[in-house]
Structure 1
Amino acid sequence: MLSIYERHPRYSLFSAFLLLTTLLYLASQHSPPSSPFYPTSSDPTLQTRLVTSERIYQKLLADRKKLVKKFGPTPEKIDLFPANVAPWPAYTVWDFFPAAFNCPHEIERIGALGDGGKWVCGLSRVQHKRNCVVYSVGINHESSFEAGILSKTTGCQIWGYDFSVQKFGPEIPSAMSHRAHFKPWGLAGVNAHGPNDENKMYTLASLMELNKHTHIDILKIDIEGWEFETLSALIKTYVDAGEPLPFGQLQLEIHIWSKNFAQYLQWWEMLENAGLRPFWTEPNLVYQNYNKGGSSDLAEYSFLNIKGANEFIGTTDNNPPDPPAHRK
């Protein structure tokens, strides 16, 4: 006796279509939402966490506009550090720029608990990566951060730059010195050097070209106020070329000495538009302590780059393929 499916093939086709539709629907309920920022990841939960973090961050941007309107109502009317008498409730510039992006991995302080250490998102992602590249600009005789990176990874090498000193700090043991490369040069928005070839200054693109690097996994910058000019020039180069920034994350000390609120807001929004999202911040209380009565105009920030491809938002493999070449 023939079954109903054998006698009526249309029932077979309809049943197959119904089963396929059901499976596709169920799969869609477990897939992360799409995003214009993040590359396809072998870890779908990572994609979900990143998209959720971005949704939270976008709400922060709306809240910032409301805060500007409340205390401004325009950026030009806002003081970085208003006097105690008004307005109330009190605020400082840092309240407009919280580290509201959630790192999708572990967050660990690398280096000293005091001045010199930095907060890093997902160091485990590059712990055993071949040819892991770290740049550290601004040494000042203290290299606990660099020593921590070297001791916690197997493949990371560090390129350090600071024209005010001649070598890394004493924290780097001799057994690891072959993975640490130092030059007494500075980082700036343009290439330049003083008389007798002193105080050499290079753009990040030039340093990467000299080192034959196309990508930096972790970039640390502490250049005493020159971060505004340097990052403005750097970001413009890549944004104008339609390319993502050439690093995975950024540890940056910000010195807001010579800016007003409107200028700082414009610069910060440039960082955000380029894909940088702050996941950690802390004021430099050592500086504030030594300048009692002064304002808290130094702050440490750590940023994740959510555009392009890097180990912190992409593949989970310990030895991922080399990232695509970026603009020199």
Structure 2
Amino acid sequence: MIEFKNVTKRYGDKVAVDDVSFNIKEGEFFVLIGPSGCGKTTTLKMMNRLIPLSGGYIYFNNKPISDYPIYEMRWDIGYVLQQIALFPHMTVRDNIAQVPQMKKWNESDIDERVDDLLSMINMDPEHFKYRKPDELSGGQRQRIGVIRALAADPPVILMDEPFSALDPISREKLQEDLIELQAKIKKTIVFVTHDITEAVKLGDRICLLNEGHIEQIGRPQELIQHPKNDFVKQFMGDQIEQYETAKLNHLSQYGKEISADVIEQRGLSIFDSEDTVEQVYAALAEDDAVAVKDERSHQYLELSRAAIFNYLSQTRERVGEKV
């Protein structure tokens, strides 16, 4: 879907991105992370030519991005910023409709698309589409920003720290919403964040950058369990410690009850509440969920990857306690 080949970006004598090469697969949730100034936002913005390359090539569907008319390319790549910047004088409907209107969709198709997208994020179209941005909460504006990027059904969505300005509760809710939304739309999403917990929770793969170089690319559990060097180990920090020591306890508020029959039908792996998160996450790399048995009640909880990270973000080591 997207391929970087020896891509470099210089600003005078400063090298912001230095000879990086990687691939992003179709339908993948790919996270760029690293310390401030590492080149992650520059890398993102080069994908839709907001920032020109100094060297190398970026390919989209096996074709150099420089071969695409720039306005068409930007229409076909959704973009979500930290500061959503909805047009304040326009309604929610008209904000969402911007790219479809530029692509000359007819108004009935636009209305149908707006209603579908609002329904997808559980915002009743009749209740919200004629409101102005200042009539919405911060979290609601951010949701509108996300679906505005989806309005013309682009194959790729770029998201530059979209939740970092929100309070922790709104941020966690939007992370959950994005996980659910991606399960429905299966877009290729490239997501920039400085928050390792967010990266691990959301990403299919993580690309950890440092001073314009790639330190490691892999599934979250690969960076946690097999950090390639001291920088990766230090950056992952608490995530590694928690995975090595945390037990599957106090998870009743994060999982949901599931019957043995459903577990068998879905072929879910079953774990004991004394197993570690490190053990369970390997199974979650292949499956959508696992089941954990409560030895006291003999009931089962279904746990998704998101449930595991909600737990880790709110708890610390409680070794020996039960579900």
Both proteins in one fold, TM over 0.5? no
Larger Rg: 1
Report the TM-score when normalising by structure 1: 0.29
Bigger proportion of residues as strand: 2
Report the TM-score when normalising by structure 2: 0.29
